Structure 1
């Protein structure tokens, strides 16, 4: 009886201690964003050779829809425990995005202090973290730099990441043991390995940044093949206007399959924004892809108007034109034959609503 009483007392004490520790959390924030619109677009792959015109509802146009939890705990002496769980979803269907993952946008925990932050989990790459600031369209899901190269919306599973901010300087470095739910194969450490780094500096009206990203093939047979990217971008603000420009280099040794050949492309972009009034922002951008091993070199042009009803709610109109030649497949929502019929130009327009909470 005495032993039972002592055991119950120990359990009660442990529960009490656990509750006491839980109360030290500094706070958890629920946040999110909902973005949806109607698009009219031509030359979408379908039954006809040159594609079809589609009028459709699209979610995640200016920003990917998401909800998330973000929390911190003050550990003392300037040290904090941090976490983020962020779930992407398609507002038009209610289904999870990022391949059906529950927290496909981000899922990590770590420590933060004067040295910066070290985090572990599924995280954004340095290209994603930095280059939204150097694309006039913010490297958003459609009608933007991310439609030219989806790596600008890149994420890596199983990643350890360092982020440091010191005045105007931001430094990022990450290493993934296996991206896209691949890798971590015993005896084959290269499989799906992904790593990169980035630096950005902002001073006054000028901001400039650079980043490198490399990943290996996702199978044992492809682990010695790599895709390497390097990019540099800049922006400069003056008055109510802001200009942007950048360059991205790519060499892919054939990471997609055993029969894939070496791919080399350069991407160039230029654009600007002008705030007509506090609530109205106009944006224009041009993107050019130079395929080094072919003459299939497409252009993409975008015009956008965004009107804010408040700090949390805005409406927008995006108009885009992709000019393809010699079989290139640059679409307004992405690059590839699933987005536009090969060699066909594409014109599209989207009107939508975005709300933050």
Structure 2
């Protein structure tokens, strides 16, 4: 009787055992080590120069783990854990988070990918192909608006690829704003009775085929309950549209970002950029870009010019020489490393950065 029972169990389990046994999985260790030397003039309120070593000049230094498992029937499980760090000091980036760049798990099928965790926003996912300096940590559009490479906690994201079209959308239950209280700093989470607090959502569509690509993106953040001067009815809204076109060894890139918001005060501004990239040889790529910031609330409209030469020693190791110039109109205070840097308001700034990057 026991033998017959065991045989019956094996017969029932056999169809399910095969897929489990044959499932293929892989885990990959990867990363980027980026460091360089930067020179800046007008680097503080006294107009002094500054020479320093910086980590993450072109790409944020990072290490990560990513893995996939074949679940059968075209379905895959996946995860990504990615930690940012400063190569010059060895400390963790993103406020000391262990996996501050990305931390998510999800499922992928021919209908698309659904992921849950700390993830990049849609601006980061799609604009990177249309920004001349590839949203570099310095000397790029990122200096005008850090949300262009935003990451949100507690995020559900869908991404689908349908031929030349990519569609993506996300919803963050609480994007992870730092809240400072009398007892110290903490990361905002979901708030009982206030579903809007610290929320974020957005999406975008990209079309890329042959020499042409274009994208349109929307991103919205809500104010965070618990921060002085903020409430969940406040919102920052961004719309971005960009395109690129390649011909021969050349690529032209152009983009526009619209902003309207009242988190931390009413603001309305536009950001425009135009760039040209030329592949001079298999190893050498030259890029030039111009950025213009139009502040609708006042006349503080800075502009920036950047030129960069990238030399690839191999597929994994390359070097960058980048030169930038910022002109600050009507006491605006944009530095080559972003708004609010210690540059004297109204002063222009010139910078030179020489960096080396290794990808593994």
Q: Work out whether the TM-score is over 0.5.
A: yes
Contact residue 34 and residue 59 of structure 2 kept, 8 A:
yes
Answer with 105-114 or 216-225: which moved more.
216-225
Contact residue 191 and residue 222 of structure 1 kept, 8 A:
yes
Report the aligned-residue RMSD: 1.4
1:339 to 1:246, Cα distance in 2 relative to 1, 3 A: farther
- The residue number in structure 1 matching 2:82 is 86
Structure 1: distance between partners of 2:40 and 2:158: 41
Contact residue 183 and residue 193 of structure 1 kept, 8 A:
no
- Residue in structure 1 matching 2:347, options 334, 340, 344: 344
Provide structure 1 residue ranges, at least 5 long, that are not aligned to the other structure.
1-19
Structure 2: distance between partners of 1:23 and 1:191: 45
Cα offset for 1:60? 0.4
Structure 2: distance between partners of 1:140 and 1:210: 20
- The residue number in structure 2 matching 1:237 is 246
- The residue number in structure 2 matching 1:138 is 134
Structure 1: distance between partners of 2:47 and 2:268: 28
Q: Residue 127 of structure 1: SS of its match in structure 2?
A: helix
- The residue number in structure 1 matching 2:299 is 295
| Per-residue CA distance 1:92-134 (angstroms, 9 max, x = gap) | 0001111111101100000000110000000000000000111
Cα offset for 1:31? 0.3
Counterparts of 1:136-175 in structure 2, within 5 Å, are: 136-175=132-171
- The residue number in structure 2 matching 1:215 is 221
1:219 to 1:355, Cα distance in 2 relative to 1, 3 A: same
Cα offset for 1:209? 0.3
Task: State the TM-score, normalizing by the size of structure 2.
Answer: 0.89
2:130 equivalent to 1:105: no
Provide structure 2 residue ranges, at least 5 long, that are not aligned to the other structure.
1-18, 177-186
Cα offset for 1:24? 4.2
Cα offset for 1:50? 3.9
Counterparts of 1:1-357 in structure 2, within 5 Å, are: 24=23, 26-45=25-44, 49-180=45-176, 181-219=187-225, 221-253=230-262, 255-256=263-264, 260=265, 262-336=266-340, 338-357=341-360
| Per-residue CA distance 1:170-196 (angstroms, 9 max, x = gap) | 111000011123230000111110000
Cα offset for 1:21? 6.9
- The residue number in structure 2 matching 1:8 is none
Structure 2: distance between partners of 1:59 and 1:282: 22
